[in-house]
Amino acid sequence: MANLRETLENLASFRPEGALVTSLYLHLRPEERQDRKYLRIYKDMVKEKKLELGRRELPKDVLDSIEKDFETIGEFLSDPKNLEGCRGIAVFSCSKEKFFQVVKLPYVYRSRLMVAPDPLIREIAAIDEEFGRVGVLLVDRKHVRFFLMDIESVTESVDFLEPLATRAHRFHSGGSGLKGAEGTFQLKMPSRGAAPNMVQHSYGEWRFHMRIQEEWHRILKLAADAAFEDWKRSKFDRLVVGGFVEEGLRDIENHLHAYLKERLVGYIEINPSEARPHEVAEKVLNLLWEKDREQEKELISELQELIGKGLAVNGTSKVLEMLSIGNVRTILIPEDFEKPGYLCPETHLVFLKPECPIEGEEPIQIEDIVDEVIEEALEQRASVEVIVDKELQKKVDGLAAFLRFSL
């Protein structure tokens, strides 16, 4: 099976003659999977796209190929087995050239269906760069495991049981149960004489609890060292720590190298001994989703601050103007925002009015400008941020953007 790099190279090199390529990006989050809602979303997008294509003077064979694309993609989506192991999917089809390619993704920016001369793969490249590599360190009192996760897969690189974590009987230290490490955890207390007729309590219990605490921190240190060694090899971008959070898992921050601590995203509740790669991936994606929702508040605050400095705009027409001159650094898009408008087919610019910057270029009326706006922003190497929170969406007037330079 081809890896992502090979797939992207194959898509980038595909140039059909006398045909167009259908590109689909589709959300497959739990809410879309319920009652196969994603199929209804896809069918609605197909209806809108057919209306848009009807306004364009395309040859019959090109239209027939696109119609076949819609059918082929619909058949693919109808089989749940094709959609396993992802929360978003990208599908590219050109029936005339018998071309069909699928890329599974951890998320997509927005469900969108587009028809263009070549496969629209910029979003995949952007998501790959954003997601990067995530190191997942799982720790309990006897087990240390480390996974490396990217948008393609989850692989395990470290998995070991710590033999020195095998405790002896309660209130005793050392012993044959430690496999050659007899006496390793013996805690010696200074001798102290007791007063007559007094019983010395808690010496054994104190040693037991101190030994448990020392043992836990030694395991955390081993786990932190294992993660750092893997970072030196793979240079992962973010770190997630998993285990039984209530057992003091956050104490690992006292042992993490500074490079890892600054990459620490958060914690997941999971059983390290029984965790499977797909379960690890689900937990990590849930955590990253929560972190993205927290980041939305920061983005809106930054927007309000930068507007006052002339480094941001809030409003669809203003954003389109800045996009037309290449002055968008980050674009903010409310998840449910839609707006009809016009596409200039040669410059690929979008406007709310039927006008194009090049004389003689005829604009095409489109049902929703947002899909084209995302594509143009990605082509300009701008980042895309989708606002999901309903209350925060109200603070964005259609579209908003952070600018590269002040005007």
**Span 13-37, pLDDT tens digits:** 999 988 999 999 999 999 999 999 9
Q: Is 313 strand, coil or helix?
A: strand
Q: What is the mean pLDDT of residues 2-12?
A: 88
* DSSP, res 35: G
- Of 118-132, 185-199, 224-238, least confident by mean pLDDT is 185-199
The per-residue pLDDT for 301 is 95
Residue length, the chain? 407
Q: Is 38 strand, coil or helix?
A: helix
* Mean model confidence pLDDT for the chain: 87
The per-residue pLDDT for 169 is 36
What does the domain layout of the chain look like in residue ranges? 1-131, 132-186+202-275, 294-407
Percentage of residues of the chain with pLDDT beyond 70? 86
The per-residue pLDDT for 358 is 85
Q: What is the mean pLDDT of residues 140-152?
A: 90
Q: What is the mean pLDDT of residues 271-297?
A: 94
Confidence of residue 157 (pLDDT cuts 50, 70, 90): confident
Q: Domain 294-407: give its CATH code.
A: 3.30.1330.30
Q: Do the beta carbons of residue 189 and residue 203 sit within 8 Å?
A: yes
Confidence of residue 245 (pLDDT cuts 50, 70, 90): confident
Query: Does 8 have pLDDT greater than 80?
Result: yes
Which range is most confident: 65-69, 166-170, 211-215? 65-69
Confidence of residue 357 (pLDDT cuts 50, 70, 90): confident
Architecture of domain 1-131: 2-Layer Sandwich (3.30)
Distances (CA, A) of 302 to 231, 330, 331, 384, 394: 32, 11, 12, 15, 15
Distances (CA, A) of 247 to 114, 216, 252, 403: 50, 10, 11, 46
Q: Domain 132-186+202-275: give its CATH code.
A: 3.30.420.60
pTM of the model: 0.84
The residues, ordered by sequence, that sit 6+ positions from 345 with a Cβ below 8 Å of its Cβ are 361, 362, 363, 364
Looking at per-residue confidence, does 346 or 291 come out higher?
A: 291
From 186, 220, 218, select the one nearest 204 (Cα to Cα): 186
The per-residue pLDDT for 190 is 43
